[in-house]
Chain A
């Protein structure tokens, strides 16, 4: 497999000014003063991404993921190290950043195309597709400053995905437009995957990564802390999320751990329609009142169900606790599903304990229904 992106030992330092002397006068009056400090945003990052891979880059705010992304896109130069790119790259960084408000949508499409490295006739060839995808319609000849923010990003997204990049870099922009347009964007990204293009998805939305990526890279404070299959990387990501928790509950979160998941029979196999029971062992250092929830994911990374945390309060006592989960009737059809378990605070804001892939259940089904859940409709002729 050919590598489309190779990041080799990249470091990036920023100079942070504590007292800015941004004028000539100030620099002359206070030579040598104005303290500044070097801040290392990326430290010795190396990885390679092959053609056709979809890789998620996860990290919290300040983890360096945006810096890494900008470096890959060439917006920022690394302080040392280098990045090799094969094929052309389109970045969905800040959508519409390249737009000139005074110009019409049409003129901006050409300008933005040129920024992405396209020739005028190449843009002309895909112009109709862009307009169609963006759903801007007759407003294409209106000045962009009169566009709604939705129209603005739709047009930018349409240009970026229609230029046929070999590498597509997406930075948390999938929340574009209404739900229907979002689905359309997602569709387009999945089609890119099928066409064997490389996609780099930068986000702190674990669900998105789980859904789209087979591999994920986790950054924390400028360091690459995980690079591997999505499930494992997400586990690391959650671990760092807890470690970084700066809320008043941070102390508590360190002391609550989901340590075991068992079933009475010891087996995680279940038949569709049968009941299921889990025993969850939780170790807590303090008494804590929180809420419990579980998630079920398909192997494709699709969220099947997330239980309602607010209706499941748990009172943890210091030491070992046991929590039971009962599923009266398993509605799922056959397949393998991953279970995530979590304890959150009363408001559901902070995750106190998280267990990624706490269990994997295998459902078998004897009936003839197809899909993911058993509805068992009764069909009668009246």
Chain B
């Protein structure tokens, strides 16, 4: 930062602003601005809870309500008979909450920060990524609370499946990021996309085995027609199942209501989980690159659309 540094520019790196930077260029640029991403995440969280006495607590209130309601409806009223259903429910909700909040939050983020986008130079996808980043923070807070639940209820997770957690988390992050980045760009051109996204997310929620057990409900019916694959097109399904496998632990339990054996989770081997998760990670990684590329195409005309 000295004066001599500013004069001796002959060996300073040359930055090129070109019509369409390559994907590699985009990613390098993104990596170089990771500091900004970090600061935006912190400021996002700060802004959200500025002037509220309870701070982060609010971010826990909505998930806690959801958890309580789903538990009441499915376990108490509908008597699904799954023991320690709250653990099953929570391990899926943790995953869903992150995905949902990331996508919902990012959809309008570029429009909301139009002033910034039109005046300051930075990789625009950082806006969506910072929203996703903030949900990551809430994710870990919820994961911690899930841990407390396990301890309090004395529930044993499947320790041997724990190494799957980082992979499943990275996949969840990349999936949320890819959809968030893509949606933040598309919404600039189609403002009512936000409503459609909301509806689609709701649909996806019920297509994901969070509040019910797939194995225990629709699996036999779909399998009879050879349509099981249809259910697994939704990438959230294997992700949620992995989290449930890790934290809920058991695949077969004894029903609290009928006393019969319930197949809560698919009868997959550990190897099967690894394969599914690694393939999914690969696919989602590719999807993220595609989203970056598409966003690059979309952002060229932000100026006149915002």
Chain A residues in the interface with B (C-beta under 8 A): 2, 4, 14-17, 22-25, 27, 51-52, 70-87, 91, 93-94, 97-98, 100, 102-103, 107, 110-111, 114-115, 117-120, 122, 125-126, 143, 164-166, 195-197
Contact = CB atoms under 8 A, between A and B. Distances in A.
Contact of A85 (B3, B6, B14, B299): B14
Nearest to B50: A102
A97 B113 CA distance: 10
B17 A85 contact: yes
A195 B193 contact: no
Nearest to B20: A77
A126 B1 CA distance: 10
B46 A107 contact: yes
Given A24-B193, A111-B40, A120-B35, A2 B10 contact: yes
Contact of A100 (B10, B36, B43, B119): B43
Contacts of B115: 94, 97
Given A14-B303, A86-B14, A166-B12, A115 B122 contact: yes
B43 A111 contact: yes
A85 B16 CA distance: 6
A114 B189 contact: no
A195 B6 contact: yes
Nearest to A166: B6
28 contacts: A15-B301, A16-B304, A24-B192, A24-B196, A25-B192, A76-B303, A81-B18, A83-B17, A83-B18, A84-B17, A85-B14, A85-B16, A85-B17, A86-B9, A86-B12, A87-B6, A91-B121, A93-B120, A97-B118, A102-B47, A102-B50, A111-B43, A114-B38, A114-B40, A115-B36, A117-B32, A166-B9, A195-B3
B56 to A, nearest CB: 16
Contacts of A22: 189-191, 305
Contacts, number: 136
A136 B227 CA distance: 66
Nearest to A82: B18
Contact of B116 (A74, A79, A97, A196): A97
B300 interface: yes
Interface of B: 1, 3, 6-7, 9-10, 12-21, 32-33, 35-36, 38-40, 43, 46-47, 50, 115-116, 118-122, 189-193, 196, 299-301, 303-305
B33 A81 contact: no
B121 A75 contact: yes
A77 B123 CA distance: 11
Given A111-B39, A114-B36, A122 B3 contact: no
Contact of A82 (B19, B47, B192, B299): B19
A369 to B, nearest CB: 37
A95 to B, nearest CB: 9
B195 to A, nearest CB: 8
A71 B196 CA distance: 34
Contacts of B303: 14, 70, 75-76
A77 B21 CA distance: 9
Contacts of B12: 86-87, 166
Given A82-B16, A83-B17, A2 B116 contact: no
B120 A115 contact: yes
Contacts of B13: 86
A264 B31 CA distance: 70
Contacts of A120: 35, 39
A79 B297 CA distance: 11
Given A75-B121, A85-B14, A93-B120, A51 B192 contact: no
Nearest to A198: B9
Nearest to B303: A76
Contacts of B304: 14-17
A84 B43 contact: no
A84 B47 contact: no
A71 B118 CA distance: 11
Contacts of B19: 77-82
Contacts of B120: 75, 91, 93, 97-98, 115
B112 to A, nearest CB: 12
Contacts of B46: 102-103, 107
Nearest to B3: A195
A83 B16 contact: yes
Contact of B17 (A78, A86, A114, A197): A78
Contacts of A107: 43, 46
A265 B124 CA distance: 66
Nearest to A122: B1
Contact of B9 (A51, A72, A78): A51
Contacts of A27: 190
B39 A114 contact: yes
Return the 10 tightest CB-CB contacts between A and B, nearest first. Answer: A74-B121, A97-B119, A82-B18, A114-B36, A83-B17, A23-B192, A114-B39, A102-B47, A24-B190, A85-B15
